[in-house]
Amino acid sequence: MIVAMEGGATHTRAGLYADDGTLLAEAESGPSNPVASSPETAALTLVELARRVLAGQESGPVQLWAGLAGAGSPTVQASMAESVGHALGAASVHVTTDLHPILFANAGPGSGVLVIAGTGSSVIAKNRQAKVLRIGGRGALFGDDGSAYRVAVEALRACAAMVDGLGPDTGLLEQLPPAAGLNSFEEFVLWSGSADKRAVAALARTVAAVADAGDFVARACLDDQARRLAAQAVAAVERLQLGEGARLFLHGSLLTECEHFRAAFRESVDQYIEAQFVECRQVGHQAVYAAFSEAPPKVDWAYIWEPAAEGFSRALSSPTETKLAVTQTLDQLDALGIVRLMNRLDASLPAVLAAQESVISQAVNAAAKAISNGGRIVYLGAGTSGRLGVLDASECPPTFGVPPDRVIGLIAGGETALRQSIEGEEDNCAAGVADLDALQPTPKDFIVGIAASGSTPYVGAALERAKECGSTTAFVCCNPSPSARADIMICLATGPEALTGSTRLRAGTATKMVLNIISTGAMALSGYVYQGLMVEMKPSNAKLRLRAARIVDSIAGTGQEKAGALLASADWSIPTAIVMALRQVDACAARKLLEEGGGRLKSVIFACT
């Protein structure tokens, strides 16, 4: 079987193809542009998506073919292909850019020029000898001529010129702010500091609409960028000597959806060469499949990885054990340098989690199902990973009011290991099984293994035991090719640490972020949160009692003084106090209403309305 993928900075789409070319399944995931995130993060997106599209299929040799925006560097292609290949145990992995497959799939053995004008822009051409030439497509810093991003930027500049009295009037000044969710043009200054390329490019649709209404400034923005893109296409035809009647394959929203831009582009091309304008019939993962299936065994426009005979089954060492590639290590920096290095490394973690959002959401749903059905969430790990699980479990009772036996943390070596290092216990498979057996796991439970390396024996053995008991399992690790397996695999591309091998740093921070999401999401879905408030919290001290009063006041509108009195008469039960206020009943009646509503405040409040 073959998994073909097409991806970029916003999404990745995959198709599973049988050997005869039949499309068997499709799936979609998050971004996989290695420049926008990192090669490691992008590789994990491919691995997670491949596992999803392969789920339920008969096992057998799998090839993975990927066309990715940002994967133009041979070094990046090789790194991603190797990581994905080992993680999936694939027969081969092909990685190239997102442009080559579309060009080769649509042009076939003949010559042609692919012209793309979407969020970004690029021109790539080939002759009959398969010689490839690429023009443009170097991103926003180098101009991205002919892209929606560049159209939007020029429109914003035209508005600024009008405001400053340096340019003509334009309807863009009125239309662009609301298109970005802003109240005035001046708000664009602050907005531009956080808006990504896609958000800016989205404004091109408004520019097109204003142009269609007859605004000559908006039209000029489109015309200028269309001419610049046309110049690139003409240069490609001339440099490869494709001759008269060269085929230009048009792709991207500006060329396929904006009639004014398309017409201006064609008119500009026609001034210099005679060309055929052709729609791209094959795009996405279909183009990736078609291009590679028709290509010779070896091509110079893609990196092809195949496992060495002696290394097919070997697992990659954990990235956390790899030395960080920096010019100065921690001990060579001053205090400010250390802060800047570690802060810069941690700043990459949100993108690491973003690449795994869909699989993390599976864990949230599984955890919520366990809590709602009377089951338990059980974390288990060794060392730092174990301590993180115990920490998250111990925070759930005071935060959400669940009994301590509903969210449990197990650590190799027991409670002593919370304060003292007993690292040798992580190799004890029997202890992992015994610790889990002591809880008598059932199919209602959700068992979450945690191991930064992806290979801790204590955790792996416990997960296998959990599967035997019918429990749903998840595994949180920081290795794209872990040896332990679970129903839900959350592999975080945290990469090397500032202090090599110290997984309490980036790996630990990312893991804690994931556990925060799992437990909080599970409790929110199970009714332990209302309007973003901790309505099941136990007010066990003065600070928390003040917080409880604020919560009651926020939901029931009682005022904090009355809220405090209601809480006191409700034995400091926040849900009971709220129901007393909303239903105008005493504590006994409020408790009965809550019991009838399954113990959850939300159901009683909805009944009130």
Residue 314 inside a domain? The answer is: no
Residue 534 inside a domain? The answer is: no
SS3 content of the chain, % helix, strand, coil (to 5): 50, 15, 35
First to last CA, the chain: 54
Task: Tell me what pLDDT residue 607 has.
Answer: 60
Task: Tell me what pLDDT residue 317 has.
Answer: 60
Task: Based on the fold, state whether residues 484 and 356 are members of the same structural domain.
Answer: yes
Catalytic site residue 595? no
**φ, ψ dihedrals at 250, nearest 5°:** -100, 135
Task: Tell me what pLDDT residue 520 has.
Answer: 96
| Cα angle 101, 222, 248; round to 5 | 30
Bridge partners (DSSP) of residue 6 are 13, 67
Query: What's the domain count of the chain?
Result: 4
Task: Tell me what pLDDT residue 154 has.
Answer: 96
Residue 318 inside a domain? The answer is: no
Q: What is the DSSP string of 125-160?
A: EE-TT--EEEES---GGGT-TTSHHHHHHHHHHHHH
The domain that holds 7 is classified in CATH as: 3.30.420.40
Task: Based on the fold, state whether residues 506 and 361 are members of the same structural domain.
Answer: yes
Task: Based on the fold, state whether residues 360 and 505 are members of the same structural domain.
Answer: yes
Task: Based on the fold, state whether residues 213 and 145 are members of the same structural domain.
Answer: yes
| Cα angle 378, 381, 384; round to 5 | 125
Task: Tell me what pLDDT residue 247 has.
Answer: 95
User: CA torsion, points 420, 424, 426, 432, in degrees to nearest 10?
Assistant: -90
Given 276, 297, 316, the domain boundary residue is 276
Task: Based on the fold, state whether residues 464 and 413 are members of the same structural domain.
Answer: yes
531 contacts 524 by C-beta, under 8 angstroms: no
Task: Tell me what pLDDT residue 608 has.
Answer: 57
Task: Tell me what pLDDT residue 319 has.
Answer: 77
Query: Residue 35 belongs to what domain range?
Result: 2-97+286-305
Helix (H) or strand (E) holding 8: none
Residue 326 inside a domain? The answer is: no
Task: Tell me what pLDDT residue 178 has.
Answer: 95
Ranges of the chain with pLDDT below 50: 309-316
Task: Based on the fold, state whether residues 80 and 156 are members of the same structural domain.
Answer: no
pLDDT in tens, 282-322: 999 999 999 999 888 788 889 999 886 444 444 446 778 88
Catalytic site residue 395? yes
pLDDT in tens, 353-387: 888 888 999 999 999 999 999 999 999 999 999 99
Length of the chain, in residues = 609
Task: Based on the fold, state whether residues 521 and 590 are members of the same structural domain.
Answer: no
Residue 103 inside a domain? The answer is: no
Residue 344 inside a domain? The answer is: no
The domain that holds 415 is classified in CATH as: 3.40.50.10490
Task: Based on the fold, state whether residues 471 and 563 are members of the same structural domain.
Answer: no
Cα gap 41→138, rounded to integer Å = 21
Q: What is the DSSP string of 342-409?
A: HHHHHTTHHHHHHTTHHHHHHHHHHHHHHHHTT--EEEEESHHHHHHHHHHHHHHHHHH---TTTEEE
Task: Based on the fold, state whether residues 269 and 294 are members of the same structural domain.
Answer: no
Given 525, 560, 590, the domain boundary residue is 525
Helix (H) or strand (E) holding 275: strand 275-279
185 contacts 177 by C-beta, under 8 angstroms: yes
Residue 341 inside a domain? The answer is: no
3-state secondary structure 11-46: CEEEEEECCCCCEEEEEEECCCCCCCCCHHHHHHHH
The residue annotated as part of the active site, out of 48, 154, 425, 426, is: 426
The domain that holds 564 is classified in CATH as: 1.10.8.1080
Task: Tell me what pLDDT residue 265 has.
Answer: 96
Task: Based on the fold, state whether residues 130 and 246 are members of the same structural domain.
Answer: yes
Contacts 24+ apart (CB under 8 A), 482-487: 482/315, 482/451, 482/453, 482/454, 482/455, 483/315, 483/454, 483/455, 484/449, 484/451, 484/454, 484/455, 484/456, 484/459, 484/460, 485/460, 486/449, 487/366
Cα gap 23→16, rounded to integer Å = 6
Residue 320 inside a domain? The answer is: no
Task: Based on the fold, state whether residues 507 and 362 are members of the same structural domain.
Answer: yes
Q: Is the pTM of this model over 0.85?
A: no
Task: Based on the fold, state whether residues 356 and 471 are members of the same structural domain.
Answer: yes
